[in-house]
Amino acid sequence: MAVLQAQGLGVTYQAENGEVRAFRDISFSVEAGQFISIVGPSGCGKSTLLSALAGLLAPTTGQVLVMGKPAAGISPHIGYMLQRDALLEWRTIWQNVLFGLEVRGQVNDETRTRARRLLDSYGLGGFADKYPRQLSGGMRQRASLIRTLAAGPDILLLDEAFSALDYQTRLQVTEDVYAILKREGATALMVTHDIPEAISMADRVLILSARPGRLREDLPIAFPGLGRRTPLSCRSHPAFQTYFDHIWKELKRDA
């Protein structure tokens, strides 16, 4: 079932010195449990596209369907995770994880249990009473993901969520996040400028053109014969380099 659909989506900003067309005429459909990576030149409208999908921004043209229904405003089905982990420094990890639920008035026994289970399963159970500054960058990012997941979203949007991390941490966080999302059966769309990262996690890579971004290609990713796929394990599959070369070439057409 398609959990998220973009139909002829476009956003034009009204700026002081005229209009800025961020992206135009983007259509695609995401099935439950899929992981979609979105790549494109800087400024081509990727963040704007995620905001429109999340309902934070009304599209200028087209529409977004969430769980088959036209979206109006911020969807409770969608969780959004940004580049900065946005943890609140004066709150403990536990209080941070509950924050999104608090804002929505959804703190109850069931959601508290889910939050607790997420913290425990993902190695942060012993850190519930610590403050964000007492955690490493990778742990903070995991805490941030758990906060997003604690609200029980059906669809997760990640905007350059790992780009503030150093390379090694980033590889490890990618492994962790991938495992978490697969285990929770989450559907995810991730914007990244890192081509290997995009390929390593994705079932499909959406390649956007330069601004105003259009959908240049919807590229299916598969690694035949790979037993249990993880972001690291697929990097050594022969198909990986082929995908990389192809995406690189497509992105260079705009440079």
- Contacts with ligand ADP, residue ranges (CB under 6 A): 13, 15, 20, 22, 40, 42-48, 211
The two three-digit tokens of residue 204, written as one number: 């499909």
Residue nearer to ligand ADP on the CB measure, 49 or 71:
49
Q: Choose the one of Mg ion, ligand ADP, none that binds residue 32, judging by a C-beta under 5 to 8 angstroms depending on kind.
A: none
Please state, in angstroms and rounded to a whole number, the distance separating the CA atoms of residues 252 and 69. 37
Q: Choose the one of ligand ADP, Mg ion, none that binds residue 98, judging by a C-beta under 5 to 8 angstroms depending on kind.
A: none
Q: Choose the one of Mg ion, ligand ADP, none that binds residue 2, judging by a C-beta under 5 to 8 angstroms depending on kind.
A: none
Residue nearer to ligand ADP on the CB measure, 18 or 227:
18
Q: Is 172 in the site for Mg ion (CB under 5 A)?
A: no
- Cβ–Cβ contacts within 10 Å for residue 79, how many? 23
Taking the mean position of all CA atoms in its chain, how far away is CA 233? 21
- Cβ–Cβ contacts within 10 Å for residue 185, how many? 9
The piece of 24-32, 39-47, 82-90, 193-201 that touches Mg ion (CB under 5 A) is: 39-47
Interface with Mg ion in residues 44-63 (CB under 5 A): 47
Please state, in angstroms and rounded to a whole number, the distance separating the CA atoms of residues 121 and 150. 13
Q: How far is the CB of 82 from Mg ion (least distance, A)?
A: 10
Residue whose C-alpha is closest to residue 4's, from 68, 74, 87: 68
CA atoms within 13 A on the CB side of 165: 24
Please state, in angstroms and rounded to a whole number, the distance separating the CA atoms of residues 134 and 206. 37
Residue nearer to ligand ADP on the CB measure, 210 or 226:
210
What single letter denotes the amino acid at residue 117?
A: R
SS3 content of the chain, % helix, strand, coil (to 5): 40, 25, 35
Q: Choose the one of Mg ion, ligand ADP, none that binds residue 121, judging by a C-beta under 5 to 8 angstroms depending on kind.
A: none
Q: Is 83 in the site for Mg ion (CB under 5 A)?
A: no
Q: Choose the one of ligand ADP, Mg ion, none that binds residue 216, judging by a C-beta under 5 to 8 angstroms depending on kind.
A: none
Sole residue written with tokens 């991730």 = 190
Interface with Mg ion in residues 144-163 (CB under 5 A): none
Q: Choose the one of Mg ion, ligand ADP, none that binds residue 22, judging by a C-beta under 5 to 8 angstroms depending on kind.
A: ligand ADP
Please state, in angstroms and rounded to a whole number, the distance separating the CA atoms of residues 127 and 21. 44
Residue nearer to ligand ADP on the CB measure, 213 or 231:
213
Residue nearer to ligand ADP on the CB measure, 12 or 172:
12
**215 membership: H or E segment, kind and range:** strand 215-220
Residues that bind Mg ion (CB under 5 A): 47
